[in-house]
């Protein structure tokens, strides 16, 4: 394993050295990126393609694109390598928000600005980064709450199926939803919350129990549409889907299709292409010395049957 790592590092170094030599005369910005785990899901796969395409369009940018394969040790190695190469900016998609803090600090001390993409690093690392760029999960939860209020006419009883317990994304989507729901429509009550672990089958099982337990359920809020469609499956089997409005916090292809069929009320659209382009733009702005806010969120709009023709079907 470690030999593989070294080989990969050596190869990456060689490529950039050649690249740098060819372009030495032009004042190019050299941006290094170390991603979390490309290939594990289509969001990350699409993100990488979009990042490379966006960088290729900009003649002033030169990139070193690395992938940690989900391994935090490898990511730390890649960070050290990027520091050695003296790239102008480092973009990191943390494999582990806490474990990468020391190496991010090292880059900061070496005078290389670090931009965190997609999922933020732990709070004690915030001093060492130039900026964060990614989706605002609290806002996604809050927007979903507004959709729920709208779907129910500000009154009703709902259940919540949250993501994997302990994951920041899951916690933030739940918090954003609950806070906004209390503000926008206090007459919509959450009967119960149980996790669906980002797993459609688990969500289906949880919903089956909810359907037995509660005679009246007006809405279901899920941490993403994958789980939401699991809940929809359960409600359809119990012949209660028509009485229930389904809202998700991130739109998936299955949710998009269920929305087309009129079975799913709405969700929040999060595009990996926007995510990648925002990260690159933030990195360029940081290098140019512009005043960049610490937290940069790209837009994640609401999607319902009414406006879905403006969005392409998600790739995941």
Partner 1 sequence: MDKAATDGWSVRQILAQQGILIAFVLAMLVFGLFSDRFLAFDNIMAVLRQTGIVGVMAIGVTIVVIGGNLDLSVGSMLSMATVLVVDLHDRIGPGPAILIMFCAVLAAGAINGVLVGYLRLNSLIVTLGMLSALQGITLIYTDGKNVDIANQSDTWFAIFGRGDIAGIPTPIVMFFGVAVLGHVLLTRMPFGRKVYATGGNPRTAVYSGIRRGRIVFLTYLISAFTVGCSALILGSRVMGSQNNVGQGYELLVLSAVILGGTSLLGGSGNILKTVIGVLILGFIQNGLLLLGFPYYAQWLVTWVVIILTVWLDVASKRHSLWSPIA
Binding residues for partner 1, per CB under 8 A? 39-45, 165, 192, 194-195, 199-201, 204-206, 208-210, 212-213, 226, 229-230, 233, 237, 252-254, 257, 315-316
Considering the complex, state which of residue 253 and residue 281 has its C-beta at the smaller distance from partner 1.
253
| Cβ at position 59, least distance to partner 1 in Å | 31
CB closer to partner 1 out of 132 and 316: 316
CB nearer partner 1, residue 192 or residue 274:
192
Judged by beta carbon, residue 46 or residue 143, the one nearer partner 1 is 46
Q: How far is the CB of 254 from partner 1 (least distance, A)?
A: 5
The least distance separating partner 1 from the CB of residue 67, rounded to whole angstroms, comes to 13
Q: How many other β-carbons are positioned within 10 Å of the β-carbon of residue 291? A: 6
Q: Angle, to 10 degrees, between the axis of helix 225-237 and the axis of helix 253-260?
A: 50
Q: How far is the CB of 237 from partner 1 (least distance, A)?
A: 6
Q: For the chain, what is the HEC assignment?
A: CHHHHHHHHHHHHHHHHHHHHHCCCCCCEEEEEEECCCCCCHHHHHHHHHHHHHHHHCCCEEEEEEECCCCHHHHHHHHHHHHHCCCCEEEECCCCCCCCHHHHHHHHHCCCCEEEECCCCCHHHHHHCCEEEECCHHHHHHHHHHHHHHHHCCCEEEEEEECCCCCHHHHHHHHHHHHHHHHHCCCEEEEEEEECCCCHHHHHHHHHHHHHHCCCCCEEEECCHHHHHHHHHHHHHCCCHHHCEEEECCCCHHHHHHHHCCCCCEEECCCHHHHHHHHHHHHHHHHCCCCCCCEEECCCCEEECCCHHHCCCCCC
Beta carbon of residue 80, minimum distance to partner 1 (angstroms, whole number): 27
> By the 8 A CB rule, do 266 and 225 touch?
no
CB of 40 to partner 1, least distance (A): 5
**Cβ at position 209, least distance to partner 1 in Å:** 4
Instruction: Please identify, using beta-carbon distances, which residue of 4 and 237 lies nearer to partner 1.
Output: 237
Indicate the residue among 107 and 254 with the shorter CB distance to partner 1: 254
Q: Which is nearer to partner 1, 173 or 287 (CB)?
A: 173
Shortest CB 290 distance to partner 1, Å: 35
Nearer to partner 1, 135 or 195 (CB): 195
Q: How far apart are CA 315 and CA 141, in angstroms?
A: 21
144: which 2 tokens? 């979903």
Cβ nearer to partner 1, comparing 44 with 140: 44
Q: Minimum Å distance from CB 96 to partner 1?
A: 18
Gap between the Cα atoms of 103 and 112, Å rounded:
12
């Amino acid at each position: 394993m470690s030999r593989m790592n070294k080989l990969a590092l050596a190869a990456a170094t060689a490529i950039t050295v050649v690249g740098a030599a060819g372009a030495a005369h032009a004042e190019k910005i050299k941006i290094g990126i170390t991603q979390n785990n490309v290939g594990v899901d289509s969001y990350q796969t699409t993100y990488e393609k979009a990042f490379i395409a966006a960088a290729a369009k900009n003649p002033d940018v030169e990139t070193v694109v690395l992938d940690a394969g989900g391994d935090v040790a490898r990511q730390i190695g890649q960070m050290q390598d990027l520091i050695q190469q003296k790239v102008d900016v480092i973009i990191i998609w943390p494999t582990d928000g806490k474990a990468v803090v020391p190496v991010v600090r090292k880059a900061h001390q070496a005078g290389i600005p670090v931009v965190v993409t997609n999922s933020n690093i732990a709070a004690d690392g915030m001093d060492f980064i130039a900026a964060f760029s990614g989706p605002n999960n609290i806002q996604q939860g809050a927007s979903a709450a507004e959709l729920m209020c709208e779907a129910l006419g500000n009154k009703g009883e709902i259940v919540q199926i949250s993501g994997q317990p302990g994951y920041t994304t899951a916690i933030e989507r739940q918090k954003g939803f609950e806070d906004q729901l209390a503000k926008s429509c206090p007459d919509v009550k959450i009967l119960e919350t149980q996790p669906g672990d980002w797993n459609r089958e688990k969500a289906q099982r949880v919903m089956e129990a909810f359907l037995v337990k509660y005679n009246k359920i007006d809405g279901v809020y899920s941490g993403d549409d994958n789980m939401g469609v699991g809940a929809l499956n359960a409600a359809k089997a119990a012949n209660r889907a028509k009485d229930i409005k389904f809202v998700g916090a991130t739109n998936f292809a299955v949710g998009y299709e269920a929305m087309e069929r009129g079975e799913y009320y709405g969700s929040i659209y999060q595009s990996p292409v926007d995510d990648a382009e925002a990260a690159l733009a933030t990195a360029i702005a940081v290098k140019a010395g512009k005043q960049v806010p610490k937290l940069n969120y790209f837009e994640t709009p609401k999607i319902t049957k009414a406006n879905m023709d403006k969005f392409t079907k998600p790739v995941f």
